[in-house]
Amino acid sequence: VSVLSRNPETNVARDLGIQESTSEDVAKLSQAAELAVEEYSSRPLSWRAELLRTIADQLDADGPRLVALAREETALSVQRLENELRRTSFQFRFFADVVLDGSFLMASIDHARASPMGPLSDLRRARTPLGPVGVFGSSNFPFAFSVPGGDSASALAAGCPILIKAHPAHPATSHAAFQALERAAQLQSAPEGLLALLFGFRAGEALVDAPAVSAVGFTGSLAAGQALWRRANARDRPIPFYGELGAANPLVVTNAAAAERAVEIAKGLAGSVTLGAGQFCTKPGLLFVPADGNGDVLVSELSAALRQVPEMTMLSSEIADHFRTGTRALADHEAGRTILSDDDRGDANVRAALFEVTADAYLRSPRTVLRDECFGPAAIMIRYRTVAELHQALEATDPALTFSVFFAENDPDVARLMQDAPSKASRIIANEYPTGVGVSWSMQHGGPWPSTTVSWATSVGASAIERWLRPVTYQNCPDALLPDALRDTNPLQIPQRVDGIMHLGTELGVRG
C-alpha cells in the first residue's frame, strides 16, 4: 500500500512513492534498534548532547521546506507552524542541557558501612536506558508531538534508539523531518539502527508488539491510546505505554472574576478555544461560569467573539467529520442549549461551536457527550448557581490535562478550588488560558487517568526523560567495572548523592 499525502484545504491527495511498512520491516528495524542500544547508550553524555543539538540545527536548516510541507498537509497557519518548529528545535537543545546536567541519572553512592542490622555492602544506583522506544506521532502537532517531537527528543536524550510511527495526517512532513534527524545522525556518526520511521496502521500495532521494543510514547485519542495501552499490557513481556490522550479540560470562572472582568475573560477564551482550530489537547472544553448576570455577560461576549472567528480548516476532513459528529451530539442532547453551531459543510472547514448547560442538568447527565473531549473549536459552558453546585459539578468531571481558574484578588472561592485542583489535572493554571505548553524544567504535561495512561508521566519538559529509564544498583562492585556516573571520582561531574548527602557535581546544576 502506497502512502498518500492529502491537502485538507483542496482534498487533493498525492502519492509519496513510499510503501507502508510491513510487519517484517518492523521486526527488522526494531532488532536493529536493539543492536544499537549498547553502542548508543555507552557514548559520552557530551556526544549525546551534541547529537541532539545537531538535530536541532538540521531541523532549523530545513525550516522553510518543513513548514511548507506541513502547511500543505495540516492547513495550520505558516506563523503557527514556524513557531511550532522553533519550539521543536528548542526542545532538542533543551534536552541536550538536560543530558549534560546529569541529574536524570539519579546517581547515588552509599559506601560500605556498619548499620543496626550489621554491615551494609557498598551500594551504588543510577538510571539506565530501557532500550528501543516506539513513538506515535500525533495529528495536531506535525513537529512538536510528531517525528521530531518531545517523545523522540526525550527518548534519544535518555539513551534509547527510537522507532517512530508517522501520523497519516502528515506523512510528507514526517518523512522530511525524519530526513533531518537522519542527516544529523550521519553527521555525528551515530550508530546504525538508532532511528527508524514507519508508516501505516498495522505497522503501529506491530511496533507495540515487537519483542525488541521496550516502551512506547503516544499522543492521540482516548480510544486509540487505550486500545494500544491494552495491547502493550497483553504482550508476553508487557511494556510501559505512555499515552497522552487529551481531555475535556475544565476552566472555572469564579463569581468574583465574572463580576470583575467577564468581557476580558470571554475574549481570551474565544482565542484559546479556537487556537489552531481548537485542535490543542489543552483546549479548555468545559467552562464553568456563574449562572448570574455577570455570567450572562461572559456568555454573550464569548459567543459574539466566536461568531467573528473566520471558518477554520481542520487537519483533515475525517477529523472535521468527527468534530461535526461531536457537535451534533451536543446539539441533540436534551439537557443542553446550542448557542453557536458549525455550518455543517461536510469538508475540512468548520466554524466554532458553543453549548450551554445548567450545572444541575450536567449533574443529571453522567457519562454522556457532555463529559467527553470534543476535538476542535467547541466548548460547553456549565452554568452554576452556587459554589456548592460548582464543586459538585467539578467532582463529577473526569480528571484532565489542565485545570484553569480565573479569579479576582481576595477571591473567597479560590482557596478551596486550588486545594482540590491536584486531583483534577496535573497542570493547574491561575488566570491564564491552558493552550500552549512551555518546554521547561517545571512543565508537567499529562494528568490522572483517563487523560494519561500513566499518571506520573509527562510528555513535555525535562522530566519527560524519566519515562525511558530504570534504576540499577551495583553492589560491592570494583571501581573499574562501574558506570562512570557511579565512580567516586565523578568523572561526568554530575549531581551525586553520596552517603545520603546531595552533591551538585558542578558549580552550576545546569549548563544551559
User: Which sign, positive or negative, has the C-alpha torsion 302, 305, 308, 310?
Assistant: negative
Minimum CB distance to its own copies smaller for 356 or for 372: 372
Question: Which 3 state secondary structure label does DSSP give 333?
Answer: coil
Query: Whole-number minimum distance, CB 230 to its own copies, in Å?
Result: 8
| Three cell numbers written together for 157 | 536524550
Between 304 and 428, whose beta carbon lies closer to its own copies? 428
If the CB atoms of residues 250 and 495 are measured against its own copies, the closer one turns out to be 495
H or E stretch at 317: helix 317-332
The rounded distance, in Å, linking the Cα atoms of 460 and 482 is 31
Which of these, 344, 345, 357, 353, lies nearest to 375 by C-alpha position? 353
Instruction: Please report where in the chains the cell 500543505 appears, as a residue.
Output: 72
Residues ≥6 apart with Cβ < 8 Å to 376? 277, 278, 279, 314, 319, 320, 322, 323, 326, 327, 350, 353
To which H or E segment does residue 234 belong? Answer: helix 222-234
Q: Shortest distance, CB of residue 427 to its own copies, whole angstroms?
A: 5
Rounded to whole angstroms, how far apart are CA atoms 73 and 371? 30
User: Which residue lies nearer to its own copies by CB, 239 or 291?
Assistant: 239
Give the dihedral sign, CA 90/92/96/97: positive
88 versus 313: smaller Cβ distance to its own copies: 88
Write down the residue that cell numbers 552509599 correspond to. 110
> Is 281 labeled as catalytic in the residue annotation?
yes
Beta strand ranges found along 239-348 (DSSP E): 241-244, 249-253, 284-290, 312-313, 337-340
Q: Which of 72, 160, 281, 301 is catalytic?
A: 281
Q: How far is the CB of 352 from its own copies (least distance, A)?
A: 24
d(CA 477, CA 489): 15
Please identify, using beta-carbon distances, which residue of 180 and 354 lies nearer to its own copies: 180
Q: Check 244, 301, 373, 389 and give the catalytic one.
A: 244
477 a catalytic residue? no
Task: Give min distance, CB of 495 to its own copies, in A.
Answer: 6
Q: How far is the CB of 147 from its own copies (least distance, A)?
A: 19
Instruction: Compute the least distance from the CB of residue 146 to its own copies, in Å.
Output: 17
Catalytic site positions = 244, 281
